[in-house]
Structure 1
Amino acid sequence: MTVGDCLKYWKEQYVDVPLRPKTQALYTSTVIKHLSDAFPGRPISEISVKQWVDFFSRQEKENPRRARQLLSQARTALNWCIRRQVIDSCAIMRISPRDVGVRSETGSRVLTYSELARIWVGIERSTAATSNKLLHQMLILWGSRVSELRLAERKEFDLEEGVWTVPKEHSKMNTVIRRPIFEQIKPLLERAMETYDQILFPGADIKQPITISAANRYMLRIREGMDIGYWRAHDFRRTLVTRLSEDGVQPHVTEKMLGHELGGVMAVYKKHDWIEDQRTAYELHADKLFWHIRKLSD
């Protein structure tokens, strides 16, 4: 069997069966996409450690973080094939992920408002689809998880009550999340509603949400056009809560904004969504961001 044969079997028998759709999409956009055509026509048993090392060395030059991720995922897939006795062995198992690329960021980046403003302007000036631009600008403002907004449908937004209700199916914690539709984000939401139908952030297929891989590629393009170091969309969440905490917003409010479950000493607050307190905090965050955006234009 070739590398492509093994990955195809792994996908059909494992990835597409018990794994969640988000995990399926992750594997499809990474290891399956980048390794399925590796060593075409070569039996996997004939690929040496040196040849694998050379392959991942080329990947390192393109993207060090992705190279390590690809190796880790490839080892997972091919080890599964070994355990299923689809193949006897694979030299890739002799390479440690720590020997390839660099470790992915663990989530330590907190952006400044000046940096957020530059990202916002970069998005605004880009030639991407409206849905992709709106998705990421609203992520900056709401600080939600990418999937919560990417999969959002029109019915989740109550403009009269001013509340966005994330269904548990779209929530990482499998719980309903309620956030306010605050003043500064309302025009962006209304634009999405005027432009699209039930799916507010569609991809190439207008009836399907934009894929996580397409969203990630877009952020990569924006990031590569700037000189502010490595960041990712998930950092918008960390930046939101850090900057608001610096301004005195209480932890039980910022945790609700992030969609976290309250535990420990904050469990007393868990029965309340603190919508109005969230609204005040969101408006403060947006005011600061838009001040810096205007400053860039001066």
Structure 2
Amino acid sequence: MKKRLTPKTIEALPPATGKRYEVHDLLLPGLHVRVSSNGRKVFYVSKRFNGRMKRIKIGAWPILSLHDARDEARRILRDIELGQFDETTSDEKQVVPTFGEVVPQFIELYARPRTKDWKGTERILEKFSRLNTRPIDQVKRADIVRVLDVIVASGAPFRANRALAAVKKLMNWCVDRGMIEMSPVTGLRPPTKEIARDRVLSDDELIACWHAGESEGYPFAQFLWLLILTGQRRGEVSGMRWSELDIEKRLWTLPAKRAKNATSHIVPLASLAISILNSVPRLEGSDLVFTTNGVTPISGFGRFKQRLDEAVGLDAEDWRFHDLRRTMATNMAMMRVQPHIIEAVLNHKTGIVSGVAATYNRHAYLDEKREALGQWAENLIQLPGFHSQGSGAKSMIGTKMSGKLDFVPQRTS
């Protein structure tokens, strides 16, 4: 088969259904791409040498671009014509990238466009830095296992599971790109068996956390309170923008680019949540709600949690910020909120309206979510001990009106 090769042409070449096939370049005679049944695409150049046809391997696409392949093919053809071709060093020689060279390519070409936490993947793969000088096709299963064993021995067995997941994606990507024939970690089981967390904070623990937050002041106090009241993810709350909020309509619209499941999410805000937001100082020129410099969202959650643990007396290993979501969901279930409404509040995929309905109904279950979150806030306020400590909560709570709790917004500069 002959075609004028272009990057799009090569990208579109399907895997061989049986025996591998070749596509010859019309622009540079002798250059061709060989496509195998696993989709691997390799550049070769063919030329008669010393009375016989010689096929010389140039390299695998897309690690080697079409432009580079043509340049290398021209060099080889020129050397043959001039009698300068060294068969002993050029015969089907291919430079194999090292593990350390492949990781940045994987992050840039695969992880970054597809994964919101691509920086986390990059950090995880740094655990395998001892393999950076090893050619990627020489990385063995035992090499990966040794790294995982070190992570487990350091007291982080679940991180070892995350590391294995990341390196599996990397190796599968290398197979797809034709760098290696087979992943060395295919079928390798996670080092540690994980058990789904079921930690739910008790009423006393929840109230203790709330009051412990009062001593923090801005920004961590308000951040913690909204984490408890909205049930959204830590990164979503900490990265909240003023432009996402409609205080008058009491809505927070979380854009798809910031949501973990890449789905836009509307969170109705209870009156207490609005009052908390009204107590937040707004930094001039910054759209961030929780920030100390106006440029980046707050960080240092590990140190913040340590302070909470000390103030409340909780076991640091026994709970996480994510457990606040489960605590809210559990309490909503006890308040007889329908499961699909709870899922919608949490922005779980199972609670999202899909298909055409999702396009035309971005406000799915809005009233039901508003009622559920309002009930959760009212339930929290009525817990014994909520009013007993500090002044932060008291200053934001008004009086009962029409049989329901309402809250008077108060804004501080």
- Secondary structure, counterpart of 1:189 in structure 2: helix
1:55 aligns with 2:151: no
Q: What CA deviation, in whole Å up to 9, does each residue of 1:170-225 have, x standing for no partner?
A: 44363441412422x3443234343573111347x632445xxx576557756986
Shift of 1:235: 2.4
1:200 aligns with 2:289: yes
1:261 aligns with 2:352: yes
**Aligned counterpart in structure 2 of residue 231 of structure 1, from 319, 322, 337:** 319
Specify whether residues 15 and 200 from structure 1 end up closer, same or farther in structure 2 by C-alpha distance, changes over 3 A only. same
Shift of 1:123: 5.4
Q: Which residue of 2 aligns with 1:11?
A: 107
Shift of 1:295: 7.6
Q: Which residue of 1 aligns with 2:244?
A: 156
Kept in 2, the 8 Å contact 1:199–1:208? The answer is yes
Q: Which residue of 1 aligns with 2:200?
A: 110
- Secondary structure, counterpart of 1:192 in structure 2: coil
Return the alpha-carbon distance in structure 2 between the equivalents of residues 74 and 271 of structure 1.
40
Q: Tell which deviates more after alignment, 68-77 or 1-10.
A: 1-10
Return the alpha-carbon distance in structure 1 between the equivalents of residues 274 and 366 of structure 2.
23
Specify whether residues 5 and 131 from structure 1 end up closer, same or farther in structure 2 by C-alpha distance, changes over 3 A only. farther
**Aligned counterpart in structure 2 of residue 291 of structure 1, from 367, 385, 388:** 385
Kept in 2, the 8 Å contact 1:116–1:289? The answer is no
1:77 aligns with 2:170: yes
Amino acid at match of 1:5: E
Return the alpha-carbon distance in structure 1 between the equivalents of residues 208 and 104 of structure 2.
41
Specify whether residues 118 and 271 from structure 1 end up closer, same or farther in structure 2 by C-alpha distance, changes over 3 A only. closer
Q: Tell which deviates more after alignment, 140-149 or 129-138.
A: 129-138
Higher RCO structure (Cα 8 Å, ≥6 apart):
1
Q: 5+ unaligned residues in a row in structure 2: which ranges?
A: 1-96, 355-362, 391-413
Quick check: which one's helix share is greater?
A: 1
Q: 5+ unaligned residues in a row in structure 1: which ranges?
A: 264-268
- Percent sequence identity is 21
Specify whether residues 216 and 49 from structure 1 end up closer, same or farther in structure 2 by C-alpha distance, changes over 3 A only. farther
Specify whether residues 95 and 250 from structure 1 end up closer, same or farther in structure 2 by C-alpha distance, changes over 3 A only. closer
Amino acid at match of 1:4: G
Return the alpha-carbon distance in structure 1 between the equivalents of residues 197 and 345 of structure 2.
18
Amino acid at match of 2:277: L
Amino acid at match of 2:103: L
Specify whether residues 293 and 2 from structure 1 end up closer, same or farther in structure 2 by C-alpha distance, changes over 3 A only. farther
Amino acid at match of 1:236: L
Shift of 1:11: 1.0
Return the alpha-carbon distance in structure 2 between the equivalents of residues 244 and 294 of structure 1.
24
Report matched runs for 1:101-250 at 5 Å. 101-103=192-194, 105-120=195-210, 130-131=218-219, 134-171=222-259, 172=261, 174-183=263-272, 185-195=273-283, 197-202=286-291, 206-210=294-298, 214=299, 217=302, 226-227=314-315, 229-250=317-338
Runs of 4+ in 1 over 6 A off after TM superposition: 222-225
RMSD across aligned C-alpha pairs, in angstroms?
3.9
Return the alpha-carbon distance in structure 2 between the equivalents of residues 154 and 180 of structure 1.
14
Aligned length: 277
Kept in 2, the 8 Å contact 1:199–1:209? The answer is yes
Kept in 1, the 8 Å contact 2:234–2:321? The answer is yes
Q: What CA deviation, in whole Å up to 9, does each residue of 1:256-279 have, x standing for no partner?
A: 53344369xxxxx94652466235
Report matched runs for 1:25-44 at 5 Å. 25-28=119-122, 30-35=123-128, 37-44=129-136
Shift of 1:244: 2.6
- Secondary structure, counterpart of 1:38 in structure 2: helix
**Aligned counterpart in structure 1 of residue 179 of structure 2, from 55, 67, 86:** 86
Kept in 1, the 8 Å contact 2:251–2:269? The answer is yes
Return the alpha-carbon distance in structure 2 between the equivalents of residues 27 and 159 of structure 1.
36
Return the alpha-carbon distance in structure 2 between the equivalents of residues 207 and 58 of structure 1.
37
Q: TM-score, normalised by structure 2?
A: 0.55
Shift of 1:57: 1.5
Kept in 2, the 8 Å contact 1:253–1:277? The answer is no
Return the alpha-carbon distance in structure 1 between the equivalents of residues 225 and 366 of structure 2.
27
Quick check: which one's strand share is greater?
A: 2
Return the alpha-carbon distance in structure 2 between the equivalents of residues 192 and 34 of structure 1.
39
- Secondary structure, counterpart of 2:252 in structure 1: strand
Shift of 1:148: 3.6
Q: TM-score, normalised by structure 1?
A: 0.72
- Secondary structure, counterpart of 2:367 in structure 1: coil
